[in-house]
């Protein structure tokens, strides 16, 4: 039996395994920090549960890791193109023409090959 999966599915599965195994350590870290400062809860906004930080520390850590995965690994090329397009729009008409001419001359040998 052969297993076929897209890169997106494998990435999601990998992140799911990572989040389920590593995120609880954010809770352990927060508990250790509270013990070091001798406090029971970070806040009292959620009675009986502590503050939002007490309730969602694992989720916040997983979201930070997801943000890093998206911006530094998965969508890195797209973000680069967005930045390039935004900077191109900031150029003057003369600079845009010079850049396009330079690109045309630079890419000609590659396109003819």
pLDDT at residue 111, as a whole number: 61
Domain count, the chain: 2
Same domain, 52 and 84: no
* 56 plus 69 within the same structural domain: yes
CB atoms within 10 A of CB 66: 14
Same domain, 66 and 41: yes
Range of the domain at 87: 78-113
Co-location of 18 and 50 in the same domain:
yes
Clarify whether residues 68 and 84 are in a common domain: no
Same-domain pairing of 59 and 90: no
pTM: 0.54
Asked whether residue 62 falls in the same domain as residue 16, the answer is yes
pLDDT of residue 22: 85
pLDDT at 11: 86
CB 49 within 8 A of CB 55: yes
Q: 97: pLDDT confidence band, cut at 50, 70 and 90?
A: very high
Q: Do 94 and 70 have their domain in common?
A: no
Indicate whether 11 and 62 sit together in one domain: yes
Per residue in 34-92, pLDDT (tens digit) is: 788 888 777 767 676 666 676 777 888 888 888 888 888 887 777 678 888 888 999 99
């Amino acid at each position: 039996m052969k297993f076929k999966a897209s890169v997106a599915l494998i990435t999601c599965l990998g992140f799911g395994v990572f989040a389920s195994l590593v995120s609880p350590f954010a809770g352990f870290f927060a508990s250790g920090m509270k013990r070091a400062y001798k406090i029971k809860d970070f806040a009292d906004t959620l009675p009986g549960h502590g503050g939002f930080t007490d309730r969602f520390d694992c989720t916040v850590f997983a979201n930070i890791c997801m943000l890093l995965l998206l911006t530094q690994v998965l969508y890195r090329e797209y973000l680069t193109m967005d930045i390039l397009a935004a900077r191109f729009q900031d150029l003057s008409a003369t600079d845009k023409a010079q850049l396009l001419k330079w690109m045309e001359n630079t890419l000609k040998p590659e396109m003819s090959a």
